[in-house]
Amino acid sequence: VFSKIFSHEALESYLPKIQLVIKDTLRAWSSNPEPINVYHEAQKLTFRMAIRVLLGFCIPDEELGRLFEVYQQFVENVFSLPVDLPFSGYRRGIRARETLQKGLEKAIQEKLQNTQGKDYSDALDILIESGKEHGKELTMQELKDGTLELIFAAYATTASASTSLIMQLLKHPRVLEKLREELRSKGILHNGCICEGSLRLDNISSLHYLDCVIKEVLRLFTPISGGYRTVLQTFELDGFQIPKGWSVMYSIRDTHDTAPVFKDVDVFDPDRFEQGRSEDKDGRFHYLPFGGGVRTCLGKHLAKLFLKALAIELASTSRFELATRTFPRITLVPVVHPVDGLKVKFFGLDSNQNEILAGTDAMLGATV
């Protein structure tokens, strides 16, 4: 049922809405006179994307802000000990979930009653229709659980990767410059502006260097550490017998750090994924930011599309600089993120600055 939400056709319909949410967000960041906390704002951005694009909810901004605060409280207590005492993390998480589900139920009911004027099918529409095709009318509780699952899946990991992307573009201005060169060569960027109607799914798929940049961000800064599997058949690994029925954990980060196919593993080098090198092609399980096998992440194509759309907007319409003297330390839990959230100052672009972005290589290098 969930697989249709991430089909090629579904992604094509989400793309204009994703662009709109990203544009509005970057405009808000640029209008802020103070540096922003990128990680916190990226969490707001991915939450808004899930609510507005995936679920198609028309929730007023003020109410959306309140829902985001409740959602954060829910996420912060997801992994608390299951001790149901007053003031415990478990109790706070349960209360936050109940508040969230009330808000989601209200939004779902309003959505089901107002079906006029829609210009695309969002994930919740597809979920409902796909359920009917499988002979299952989803109950309100199942719809609430499904929407919460979609928000949860789209939230923390995408915010983590978005923050890592911005940090690497700040650290490596030549990568940002090369992205702009590719956008101009493909007719997407002209005189510092994105050409109208140029951002379609097939056009974005043709941006090979952009794909390399996103792959390298996910290799070096994989949002989550690994995944769990159940052993289906007893097997032996390096002299150790792993019995059937055991739970095992595979480590994505350790795999990326120790895979022999990657050269200089600590270096941010998007060119390692270019056709001439293709370091990820030697072997099936050396590169697995979204897991592997039949339980690979269902939303991986949506996540990559979102990151690519963000990178295009950052390269095309934004000027930004680090607001601290040094880059922050990175922590790995609960997902990869900068300890202080990464303080960055975004600037609005006027026509002169657009000309600079569209200018010579020297000018391009000086804008970041």
- Which residues belong to the annotated binding site for heme? 297
Half-sphere exposure of 171 (CA within 13 A, CB side): 14
Task: Centre a 10 Å sphere on the Cβ of residue 282 and count the other Cβ atoms it contains.
Answer: 12
Whether the CA torsion 86, 90, 96, 99 is positive or negative: it is negative
What gap in Å lies between CA 109 and CA 139, rounded to an integer?
Answer: 12
- 177, 340 contact by CB (below 8 A): no
Element (H, E) at 330: strand 330-331
What gap in Å lies between CA 368 and CA 307, rounded to an integer?
Answer: 20
Q: How far are the Cα atoms of 86, 98, 248 from residue 92, in angstroms, in the given order?
A: 8, 10, 30
Task: Centre a 10 Å sphere on the Cβ of residue 243 and count the other Cβ atoms it contains.
Answer: 9
Residue carrying the six token digits 């798929």 = 205
User: Which residue numbers belong to the known binding site?
Assistant: 297
What gap in Å lies between CA 341 and CA 330, rounded to an integer?
Answer: 9
Task: Centre a 10 Å sphere on the Cβ of residue 153 and count the other Cβ atoms it contains.
Answer: 18
Q: How far are the Cα atoms of 23, 25, 145, 238 from residue 45, in angstroms, in the given order?
A: 11, 7, 21, 44
- 48, 25 contact by CB (below 8 A): yes
Outline where the chain has alpha helix (H).
8-31, 38-49, 61-76, 89-113, 123-133, 140-171, 173-185, 201-205, 208-220, 252-258, 300-317, 351-357, 361-366
Residue carrying the six token digits 């809405």 = 17
- 226, 269 contact by CB (below 8 A): no
